[in-house]
Structure 1
Amino acid sequence: MLSPDHADIVRATLPAVIDHGTQITATFYDAMFAAHPELLHLFNQGNQANGEQRQALALAVAAFAQRLTSEGGPASIQLLLSRIAHKHASLGVRPDQYTIVGRHLLEAVGKVLGPAVTPEVHAAWSEVYWLFATLLVAEEARLYHEAACTPEDAFRPWRVAERRPEADDVLTFVLEPTDGQGVPGYRPGQYVSVAVTLPDGLRQPRQYSLSRVPTGDAIQITVRRVRGEDGAPDGAVSTFLHRNVAEGDLVEVSPPFGDLVLDDDSDPLLLISAGIGVTPVAAMIDHLAAGAPDRPVLALHADRSPGTHALRGQITSAARAVPGIRRITWYEQPDGAASTADEEIRTGLMDLDGLSLPDKARVYMCGPIPFMRGIRRELLSAGVSEERIHYEVFGPDLWGQAD
């Protein structure tokens, strides 16, 4: 896919690009937002402030370049592209915006690396970027077509039909479309983007998993309010939704997207979640109860306490229609919670040691990245094959960052 001469240059310069990746992306974002302030409404400014988006972009570009210049790259490239394209489509990213990004990103490479960026190096990395952009534009066009929308009309108005507390700092919102187009179909594990205009006038989108299967003319999302820690600010959109959005209010919602979806086969399932990562798992169990109740399932969840455990009642109710399910929950602070016929309670952090895992299970994980990395290591040690482990990340995908 990459011309041979450029491939050699990219291999030779990739270590320098990786070493200076976050410096390059920081320079890129600062310059791009200064020239195109309208893009502030598209990018998550919370992730800009904490640096996670800069890290994620640096990792994505480096991963793409590595795959381009290595054997067996195309298959792994498709996995990388799919995840990014779904995120972009849910935000309404347009093809012309790749020109803006490309210009500022390549200028940032030259500014940070200086004289090392010869015309030949610039040409090689320009080819890398435009291959990346062309493949993403094509994949996003396919997703827009499947969703029967364009980037310009990706967001529709939805009314909050119900708002209810789920757990400490967690609310569920039931949303109904107001434009007569109905509820789009979706698969368990997918998400929508919800966009709100904050008090300062900044429009900000955030992605939230659909936390149950469609019910009539409504969808459901479950939102944890993000509390700032160690001096970091609170989550702007989650705080706004908790404080300001009431029943009857309107919010902008994208079609469902996301590539972490439940396969419709008969393999046993291992569903692993922590904290608010339970939301896609709740939809999966809901789906199994409605259409595949005989599938064997081991559902493992970790939380701080019963009071922070979101969607526990919904999952318990749905699981009763799935005879082959076993549920185990670990609480750091059990607060008197005891095992029942529906759910085994353990104390402490999730630990797979000594746990009998189903043979040839498909694994779906969602939770904080350090949690998922640790569980993945345990799964691999237990003999679970890499290709059967699937994961979802809330926020920028920093999975490729060093452990």
Structure 2
Amino acid sequence: MLSDKAVPIITATLPVVGENIQEIAQRFYKHMFAEHPELLDGLFNRGNQADGRQQQALAGSVAAFATNLVEHPDQLPDHLVSRIAHKHVSLGLHPNQYTIVHDNLMWAIGDVLGSAVTPDVAAAWDEVYWLFANVLINKERGLYGAVHLSPDTIWRTWRVSEKIPETEDVTTFIVERTDEREVKPSLPGQYVTLKMRMPDGVHQPRQYSLTKADDGQHRQFAVKRVYGQGTPDGEVSNLLHQEVQVGDEVVLSAPFGDVVLEYSDRPVVLASAGIGITPMAGMLSHLAKAGAQRTVRMLHADLSPETFALRAQVTEDLGKLPDASLTVWFEQPPASLAPGELSGFMNVNDVELPQDAEYYLCGPLPFMQSVRSALVANGVPAKDIQYEVFGPDLWLADFA
């Protein structure tokens, strides 16, 4: 918790820092990359930098943590810490890199707020930063330890054994191990980071959900192609779709991710849209492989039947479960709807949901906001709703 001296200073300055946190984050990244360009090679997604999502995520998390210290000094924002820590370890973040972040973040606060940052103000925000950093460092140390790996050893080379077109824009990659080292099993819903060398020589990381339960020899993930080749936002997906072929090797991290299917007997509802089907497919695969007896309801929204990636796998796995069903909403429905198909956007009121269920959401942010709001309005406890978001989590501060 904050020291007695820092509490009133943070309380007084939080509004002005909050008003300027977006600009602080922008200047922070610009200054840090100018001082340490090596951080752009393998650690930061330059697509997220280009569109501002990384800056938004940083701003939201810092403001949320500082607010939590003031309003709930005896509690840690566990969800915030866990989400960030899993992402960090999947990138191989070193504890000593927090010092680099500290130095550049404090520079940015002073640069934006100027003379308002007195020595006492600077010391108080320094305290906030190191409280946050040390919580994350400790959490990340535990995550590395749990898989008996380090920031340098989470990476492993795999060979592409199959490349399967799912839709016009989505391709499944099945990779096989290239050595006899132990493979850390994934949990249902986790992702891996793929680190790829780009044509300009810079390595770029991207996270991809594992879409099938491990068999000890292979891993499977699906990649949606982001159009606009030549722009940072789609450079990795385009390279994977166009250049990477069967027999090529790719570098993947160990599996991480805090949105993991709970092992229980409660009913489970999986709600996804578009490429958000990927972690749900992974969860279903684990359920089918384990011979689970749970009630399972899969709800999915997509543009059309032609854009529904992994539909065959999802349908097959649902068929292996004793009480499971699939309901799909299509924005552009076929001329004749089959049983379980509806037109328009997902509406959870269109289906009968099981009592006392656990819910998992994945898809575009507006989709998840809409579905979560509808579930809460129908009496589903917020604690029973988990969500996975691709890229920096711009929603995270709302639930910290």
TM-score by length of 2: 0.96
Who is 1:177 aligned against? 177
Verify the 8 A CA contact 1:156 1:179 in the aligned structure 2.
no
Distance 1:145 1:182 in 2: 15
State the shift of 1:186 in Å: 1.3
Distance 2:111 2:384 in 1: 42
Who is 2:366 aligned against? 370
State the shift of 1:145 in Å: 1.0
Q: Which moved more, 1:84-93 or 1:7-16?
A: 7-16
Verify the 8 A CA contact 1:2 1:127 in the aligned structure 2.
yes
State the shift of 1:338 in Å: 2.8
Kindly provide the amino acid, as one letter, of the partner of residue 56 in structure 2: Q
1:3-402 alignment runs, 5 A limit: 3-41=3-41, 42-71=43-72, 74-75=75-76, 77-228=77-228, 234-336=233-335, 338-340=337-339, 344-400=340-396
Distance 2:326 2:315 in 1: 9
Verify the 8 A CA contact 1:67 1:73 in the aligned structure 2.
no
Distance 1:349 1:80 in 2: 30
Distance 1:161 1:52 in 2: 34
Verify the 8 A CA contact 1:92 1:150 in the aligned structure 2.
yes
Verify the 8 A CA contact 1:293 1:321 in the aligned structure 2.
no
Verify the 8 A CA contact 1:306 1:337 in the aligned structure 2.
no
Kindly provide the amino acid, as one letter, of the partner of residue 353 in structure 1: N
Task: Indicate the percent of aligned positions where both proteins have the same amino acid.
Answer: 49
State the shift of 1:102 in Å: 0.4
Verify the 8 A CA contact 1:167 1:308 in the aligned structure 2.
yes
Q: Look up the SS of the partner of 1:330 in the other structure.
A: strand
Q: Look up the SS of the partner of 1:329 in the other structure.
A: strand
Q: Which moved more, 1:260-269 or 1:347-356?
A: 347-356
Q: Which moved more, 1:354-363 or 1:297-306?
A: 354-363
Post-superposition CA distance 1:313-350 (Å, at most 9, x none): 0011111111211210001012346324xxx1001100
Distance 1:166 1:20 in 2: 44
Q: Look up the SS of the partner of 2:71 in the other structure.
A: coil
State the shift of 1:401 in Å: 6.7
Distance 1:364 1:4 in 2: 40
Kindly provide the amino acid, as one letter, of the partner of residue 62 in structure 2: V
Post-superposition CA distance 1:68-116 (Å, at most 9, x none): 11137625x1211111000000000001100000000011001001111
Structure 1 segments unaligned to the other structure (5+ residues): none
Kindly provide the amino acid, as one letter, of the partner of residue 339 in structure 1: A
Post-superposition CA distance 1:285-317 (Å, at most 9, x none): 111112143201111000111111110000111
Distance 1:253 1:333 in 2: 36
Post-superposition CA distance 1:339-382 (Å, at most 9, x none): 24xxx100110012243221111110011111101111101100
Structure 2 vs 1, CA of residues 148 and 336 (structure 1 numbering), >3 Å: closer, same or farther? Answer: farther
Q: Look up the SS of the partner of 2:75 in the other structure.
A: helix
Distance 2:287 2:133 in 1: 37
Distance 1:99 1:8 in 2: 26
Q: Which moved more, 1:182-191 or 1:205-214?
A: 182-191
Distance 2:210 2:135 in 1: 27
Post-superposition CA distance 1:29-62 (Å, at most 9, x none): 0110001000001100000000000000000101
Kindly provide the amino acid, as one letter, of the partner of residue 48 in structure 2: N
Verify the 8 A CA contact 1:85 1:140 in the aligned structure 2.
yes
Kindly provide the amino acid, as one letter, of the partner of residue 49 in structure 1: A
Distance 1:216 1:275 in 2: 28
TM-score by length of 1: 0.95
- Give every structure 1 segment of 4 or more consecutive aligned residues whose post-TM-superposition deviation is greater than 3 Å: 231-234, 400-403
Kindly provide the amino acid, as one letter, of the partner of residue 290 in structure 1: K
Distance 1:354 1:253 in 2: 40
Q: Look up the SS of the partner of 2:394 in the other structure.
A: coil
Kindly provide the amino acid, as one letter, of the partner of residue 140 in structure 1: E
Distance 2:228 2:18 in 1: 29
Structure 2 segments unaligned to the other structure (5+ residues): none
Distance 2:291 2:102 in 1: 45
